[in-house]
Amino acid sequence: MFHLKLALDSLKKNSSTYIPFLLASATAVALNFLFQLLIYSKGVKDLSMAEVVILLLVLGQIVIGILSVVILIYTYSFLKKGKQKEFGLYSILGLKKSDLVKISLIQQLFSFFIAIVLGLVTGFIFAKLMILLLIHLIDGTTFNLAFSWKALFFTVLFFLVAFLILAVIDAVSFYKTNTLALFQSEKKASTAPKNRWVLFVIGLASLIVGYWLSLTVPGPVDAILRFFLAALLIIIATYFLFIAGSTLLLKMLQKRESYYYKSQHFITVSNMLFRMKQNAVGLASIALLSTMTLVVTVTTASMFLGKTDVANRMLPRETTVSVSENLLSKEKIEETAKKHHLSTDSFYTIRASSKAVAYLSKDNELTRWRYGSESEKKQKKTRPGERNVQFMTLKDYNDLTHRKATLDKNEVLIYSLTNDPGNKKAILTPTKNVRLNSKDYKVKENISSIPGIPSMTSQLMPSLFIVMPDEKTTEHTAEHYVLADDLENNSLMMDTFYFNLEGKFDDKNAFLDDLEQSLPSNSDSSLMNKTILKKLMNAFYGGFFFIGILFSISFMFVTGLMVYYKQISEGKADKAQFDILQKVGMSKPEIKKTIHSQISWLFGLPVIVSIIHLSFSIVMIQKLLLAFAIPMSSSVYIIMAVTVFLMVMIYLFIYQLTSKTYFKQVASLNN
């Protein structure tokens, strides 16, 4: 009873740090619970590509989990500072260290219960709200998110452990320090920072290498690995440069007398020097969190908003049906459509060879791709050479385009397709000569677009469309590249029908099923419908965007907390200083101006750094987007600008909210 009273009393006295700590813990619980609920929810399992989404959620849960523990310890350190003085007093009054541990345990359990109850309730409500957003994003109608005991159990267990860690931290500090040190723990003089050239040089080097890596990333596949390496280097650089670079810069300013000995710089520069020493780590963390928020938001939002464009480019008409030559006819398709109450229009057909994978060497020779062979291994090393190839006769090409192109016997037309239509030059395309099936051809023209043929592919592998002079050469060449076993049940040439379908979604589904049934069971066919594709894409990219939003919310929350605690701890330290300045002859408005310029530096710096980081990561983001089949369009810049604007607004809002506590700490200025 006695211990309980002391425990609660001490929390009450430290309410200015305790309440934010409780809120932080409750929010951490809520976020973790939300992720757990999603991982176990039936709704996620029912999503198309559920495994990918669940994997992402689990990864997210790990990040959020680590972040939660860090935040708990960080916010607790402020509460601990205030509590330690009291514990020192209890100790002087004769409480044993084991009593102190008991009190601390009671406090942790008390905090744990409040945080868990608050967090679980708000987490569940928040989850229900977020589900509404998710349903909207993925164009769904319902999403099954039920209460799950597993999720609850995991969350409770996780935080029980986390709070026990806090009790252990307390116990360690009780046993390590003596009574008097506990009592005086609040006072600690800081010393002037020293120049740390080594840290600075390492930081600068990692920054340069990190930026270089992200600017020169070659292809989407390498982007993911590089991304982690570059991110790691930039994280190191940010910490080191905030710690060492700021000191160097400020000391340099101090040496410039004409600048330093001005009333508006004098106090600010010398204060910042000490301030940066205490805050470098915090500021660097804020800068990195903001960068993460920006990168995650920009990437996922670009995916989500870029997907329509992709669908339109991949499918020139609403429906594409590709089958072996002469298996289907326009009449048959129209008949089937009518059966399903659908109407068709804007019909056209393309005849071309089936697709084959080939390898384009540096001297423009296309060789056959052999799986598992020696040459495949050799070819793999020079990966950029992989190409999808398709062949078409000149007659079919002229029929399709209404052109009257002519080709000599040894001439071809080439049309190349990538997953990044705005950036064709990045891919090697034969422009003068090409060697096909050991015969040399002259490239008469590189066609920039063929109406009716998709203008982009969703695959990482670029495609080459080669128009050959006559039927015989086309078939003969195609045969060389298309694998023999692929041809067993299929003809070499394929018919592709493009048309728009009007009607209900379910009817379209049934129509495609019906059409597929009517084809021989093992024939090589592909049926795609834009409406259905868009629905699939919505689920996939919507899921990404949703997780991106969750991440951003979590990062924002962490940033807000750090800003708040910085304000509290600094307000206390600054009060004495501003009292002195006032006595020495600085007017209140001057002092307020100094405070503002200091604070705006401290707050502006992380935002500026994160925007610089973001701009250096644009190339990387572009390649990452390509890895997920979304080309970067100019809309990405708009998304980026909007995201930066939103983040700055939220950051300013947090700042406004928390700077009130700061000015309360230096309140004597206001009387």
Partner 1 sequence: MTLLSVNHLKKEYKSKRSSQKVEALRDIDFQVEEGEFIAIMGESGSGKSTLLNCIATLDRPTAGQIQIQGRDLAAFKDKDLASFRREHLGFVFQEFNLLDTLSVKDNIYLPLVLSKKTQGKEEKLAKLAIRLGIENLLDKYPYELSGGQQQRVAIARALITNPEILLCDEPTGALDSKNASEILNLFDACHQNGQTILMVTHSPLSASHAKRVLFIKDGMVFHQIYRGDKSEQEMLVAINDAMTNLLGGQS
User: Which positions touch partner 1 (CB under 8 A)?
Assistant: 189-192, 261-263, 266, 270-271, 273-274, 577, 579-590
Structure tokens at 613: 């980081």
Nearest to partner 1 of 264, 489 (CB atom): 264
Q: How far is the CB of 189 from partner 1 (least distance, A)?
A: 5
Structure tokens at 218: 């070659």
Nearest to partner 1 of 93, 189 (CB atom): 189
Nearest to partner 1 of 388, 597 (CB atom): 597
Give the Cα separation of 59 and 57 in Å (integer). Answer: 5
Q: How far is the CB of 242 from partner 1 (least distance, A)?
A: 19
Give the Cα separation of 248 and 194 in Å (integer). Answer: 9
Q: How far is the CB of 271 from partner 1 (least distance, A)?
A: 5
Q: How far is the CB of 278 from partner 1 (least distance, A)?
A: 11
Q: How far is the CB of 259 from partner 1 (least distance, A)?
A: 12
In the block, which residue shows the tokens 């006769």?
393
How many CB atoms neighbour CB 532 within 10 A? Answer: 16
Nearest to partner 1 of 564, 578 (CB atom): 578
Q: How far is the CB of 585 from partner 1 (least distance, A)?
A: 3
H/E element, 286: helix 263-314
Nearest to partner 1 of 475, 579 (CB atom): 579
Angle between helices 50-92 and 149-176 (to 10 degrees): 30
Q: How far is the CB of 592 from partner 1 (least distance, A)?
A: 12
**Of 30, 20, 53, 59, which is closest to residue 158 (Cα–Cα)?**
30
Q: Fill in the DSSP letter of residue 471.
A: H
Q: Is 276 within 8 Å of 195 (Cβ atoms)?
A: no
How many CB atoms neighbour CB 150 within 10 A? Answer: 11
Q: What residues have CB less than 8 Å from 574, skipping those under 6 apart?
A: 595, 665, 666
Q: In what order do the strands lie in the sheet with 526-529?
A: 343-353, 493-502, 319-324, 526-529
Nearest to partner 1 of 276, 611 (CB atom): 276
Nearest to partner 1 of 263, 615 (CB atom): 263
Q: Is 345 within 8 Å of 500 (Cβ atoms)?
A: yes
Q: What residues have CB less than 8 Å from 513, skipping those under 6 apart?
A: none
Nearest to partner 1 of 372, 589 (CB atom): 589
Q: What residues have CB less than 8 Å from 35, skipping those under 6 apart?
A: 57, 60, 61, 64, 550
Q: How far is the CB of 13 from partner 1 (least distance, A)?
A: 20
